[in-house]
Amino acid sequence: MKKIFVLSALQLVLMAVGLQAQTIIPNPQSQSDMENKTEDVKVSDLQFISANDPSFASDIKVFSEFMSKMGYPAIAQKESATHAIHLIKDASLRDEEYRMQCKANQVVEIRGGKDGVFYGLMSMLQLIEEGQRQVGLSVPQLHDFPAYSWRGMHLDVSRHFFPKEFVMKYIDILALHKMNTFHWHLTDVQGWRIEIKKYPKLTEIGSKRKESIVEKNFDPYIGDGVPVEGFYTQDDIKEIVLYAQARHVQVVPEIEMPGHAQAALSAYPEYSCAKNMMEPLTKWGVSNDVYCTDDATFRFLEDILDEVMALFPSNYIHIGGDEVPKDRWKVCPVCQQTMKTHHLKDENELQSYFIKHIDAYVTSKGRNIIGWDEILEGGLAPNAAVMSWRGEEGGIIAAKQQHKVVMTPGDYCYFDHYQGNKNAEPLAIGGFTPIQQVYSYQPTPAVLNAEEKKYILGAQANVWTEYIATTDHVEYMAVPRLCALAEVLWLGDSKPGWIDFKNRLRVHFSFLDQCKVHYANSIFDVTTVRNIVEGKVELTLESVYENGQIQYQMPDVDQAQLLLYKKGRPLVFKRSGKLRAQYYEGTKELGHLLEEEILVHKALGKNISSTIEPSSYYNEGGLPKLADSKAGHAPRLSSDWLGWSGKNPAITIDLGDASKLNNLDIYTLKEESNWIYLPQQITVSLSTDGINYIALKTLSAKEIEDAYGVDNKLSVSLANTKARYVKLALTCAPKIEKDKPGAGEDAWVFLSELAVN
Ligand code: ACM
Ligand code: ZN
């Protein structure tokens, strides 16, 4: 009791004199009890830095460079008894552990292991920035260390090329948040970006593509006519690796094989199965052209890996392994012979054979491979680590087989997904991964036992750049979600929770501003909660931060009329229309403008059944979603839609009472690049008793195509017929045609709302 009282009293005093707790991200593991703090050092009083060991020279240099990038006066390096940060090597602490303590004579001691002192300095940078705004801010007493050893960020430089200087800035952003791994995706179908001396055509040819597809214009294809080229010389790479090392970041290079290889094969088609001429792809997606499995190709890849391993000192070399179409292998005499010779029963085993060969080679050089979870298919190579991206399943299987795992499941770790109001976010590949979701991530699956859990090294986020062409946009996608992931990985089970984090993040934005990071402000976006109440839609507006206000505009009112939202009070929609809402602090708009369509109709909240359930992949919210007042968005957000494939559903809406029906709006999606097709046929039938149906109309593929509009809507007249039940029998498109994305697979039908009026 006494202790708590002492603490609170001290906190009250601190509050009274205007002092607040520091807001470091990731939050330090522990702050020593305040009563143990015998000395008080003010952040603003620190003028000097010194060290007990010459090995800290690099850390001090990097710290000074950060100070200068942030526009702060240099902290002089000087042996000084007062007003100093003193760095101490402490062999009793683990590599990444540090302690920060206030000592007599206005000295702050940071003692730590090999990396820990640097992390102490990174905390100090955030304190110094905060000290600029909070006069009299005291240095806290910290004991800090990470929960996970792999705290990573990935960057795809193949789809778009980013200059060396930006790669360094990206590494800075990692280091400032105590992330320690930069996964550099250097090669893919659309560009090869690393100089290989033995094979100069890899960059002469493979680093250049004619143009890029415009947005999502796959079919018909529209290109922008703007060439994309660029690569990193070996000198650039050496410089970047050293730069990262100085920031305690390991660089893990990724050289994709056996798929995602078209840029390499454009330069050296002799290592493909078909030996055909090709060019780096100008649109997004995988290519059927993969490496052949003959000896010459293995020699080629080993030569490349030799140069890669000479450049990158990391233990792990990422060899890709994801998304390997087997089409070429199936018809290649050489690959079929490889399968016979090695008694491989199918092409999955051939893929596994391929990876095992590379695994043995890399292992013979004293390194380890890591690959995407497809490397599990056909059997895992003996020394391989697995990067689990298609959910956590692959990681769980690998850990149970005693292989090391890095988690990077799409739902939490794909930072190419949308993060805020989709009407206002820049075009993205799809998905919705807001920062709250990132923060909720727990990298260690509960299904693993204690022994298996040890194989989870940590996690990383991936920034694929198909739709990200500029460095500012990379920063926007990466930050602040990176801040959340950094805390997930630093603290593991002891993270203090979303409310605590978001409040610190609010302060941390000033630090990011000072570091000139172009972060996304999507966290400020207004969100809505909808309820269907007696055929009407009630919307409650919410914002993550509550210091400001929400202004909103109802449909059908004077465009200039903005109303102040009263927290918690629902807005009632009796008719369809668009709501606009914006979060403000003072006169400053923060976040994006929300624009949301609300559909009010007779089927709202009514019972819906289907002969075939939606696929488990696209069934979030289940069938009630088809009458929840929300039309789905394109570009597709999977959570907006229900999806069927391979089977034809008949969906019935029970309106509860019979009434005259005018119209049915079917919200469906045509996004053939993502395998989503319009239905081939729709038959609409009506009934008053749910037994006897009268077929009102059958729409052909052509009629559906003609009636389908820009708002993903297809209107069918119900001819003022009295009915209680409305039934739609849908025929899905057949298997996808040759040469289209997903060729040979079942097409999908997507629905988001069935609006009956
Ligand atoms: C991946 O996203 N294809 C690893
Ligand atoms: Zn082949």
* Confidence at residue 12, expressed as pLDDT on a 0 to 100 scale: 41
Which residue, judged by its Cα, is nearest atom 3 of ligand 1?
322
pTM score, whole prediction? 0.91
Q: Is 415 in the pocket of ligand 1 (CB under 6 A)?
A: no
pLDDT tens digit string along 667-678?
Answer: 999 988 889 999
* Confidence at residue 556, expressed as pLDDT on a 0 to 100 scale: 72
Q: Is 323 in the pocket of ligand 1 (CB under 6 A)?
A: yes
* Confidence at residue 361, expressed as pLDDT on a 0 to 100 scale: 98
Long-range contacts of 293-299 (CB under 8 A, 24+ apart): 293/258, 293/329, 293/334, 293/335, 293/338, 293/350, 293/353, 293/354, 294/334, 294/335, 294/338, 296/270, 296/271, 297/271, 298/357, 298/358, 298/361
Whether 316 shows a pLDDT value over 60: the answer reads yes
The predicted model gives 34-53 an average pLDDT of 87
* Confidence at residue 633, expressed as pLDDT on a 0 to 100 scale: 74
Q: Is 284 in the pocket of ligand 1 (CB under 6 A)?
A: no
Q: What ligand 1 atom has the least distance to the C-alpha of 372?
A: 4
* Confidence at residue 37, expressed as pLDDT on a 0 to 100 scale: 74
* Confidence at residue 636, expressed as pLDDT on a 0 to 100 scale: 60
* Confidence at residue 105, expressed as pLDDT on a 0 to 100 scale: 92
The predicted model gives 195-221 an average pLDDT of 95
188, 307, 475, 640: which is the annotated catalytic residue? 188
Of 204-213, 251-260, 358-367, 739-748, the range with the lowest mean pLDDT is 739-748
* Confidence at residue 559, expressed as pLDDT on a 0 to 100 scale: 63
Whether 16 shows a pLDDT value over 90: the answer reads no
* Confidence at residue 80, expressed as pLDDT on a 0 to 100 scale: 80
Whether 536 shows a pLDDT value over 50: the answer reads yes
What DSSP element (H or E) covers 724? Answer: strand 713-731
* Confidence at residue 15, expressed as pLDDT on a 0 to 100 scale: 42
Q: Is 414 in the pocket of ligand 1 (CB under 6 A)?
A: no
Q: Is 83 a catalytic residue?
A: no
pLDDT tens digit string along 701-751?
Answer: 999 999 998 789 999 999 999 999 999 999 998 899 988 888 899 999 999
Ligand nearest to the CA of 375: 1
DSSP for 260-312, please give it: S-HHHHHH-GGGBSS-------SSSS--S--B--SHHHHHHHHHHHHHHHHH-
What's the farthest any 2 CA atoms get from each other in the chain?
Answer: 93
* Confidence at residue 478, expressed as pLDDT on a 0 to 100 scale: 98
* Confidence at residue 280, expressed as pLDDT on a 0 to 100 scale: 98
| pLDDT range class, residue 18, cuts 50, 70, 90 | very low
Whether 365 shows a pLDDT value over 60: the answer reads yes
Q: Is 322 in the pocket of ligand 1 (CB under 6 A)?
A: yes
* Confidence at residue 741, expressed as pLDDT on a 0 to 100 scale: 82
pLDDT tens digit string along 94-148?
Answer: 999 999 999 999 999 999 999 999 999 999 999 999 999 888 999 999 999 999 9
738 compared with 267, residue with greater pLDDT = 267
pLDDT tens digit string along 73-97?
Answer: 989 999 887 999 999 999 999 999 9
Cα(387) to ligand 1 centroid in Å equals 10
Q: Is 248 a catalytic residue?
A: no
Whether 1 shows a pLDDT value over 80: the answer reads no
* Confidence at residue 558, expressed as pLDDT on a 0 to 100 scale: 65
Beta strands in 411-482 (DSSP E): 456-461
* Confidence at residue 6, expressed as pLDDT on a 0 to 100 scale: 36
Ligand nearest to the CA of 327: 2
The predicted model gives 50-66 an average pLDDT of 96
Q: What is the mean pLDDT of the chain?
A: 93
Domains and their CATH numbers in the chain: 32-144 (3.30.379.10), 150-522 (3.20.20.80), 525-598 (2.60.40), 607-756 (2.60.120.1190)
Please choose from 284, 286, 372, 392 the residue to mutate so as to test ligand 1's pocket, defined by most ligand atoms within 8 A of CB: 372
Residue 325, judged by CB atoms within 10 A of its CB (0-12, 13-18, 19+), counts as: middle
The predicted model gives 377-398 an average pLDDT of 96
Residues 563, 554: contact at Cβ < 8 Å?
A: yes
* Confidence at residue 562, expressed as pLDDT on a 0 to 100 scale: 83
Q: Is 417 a catalytic residue?
A: no
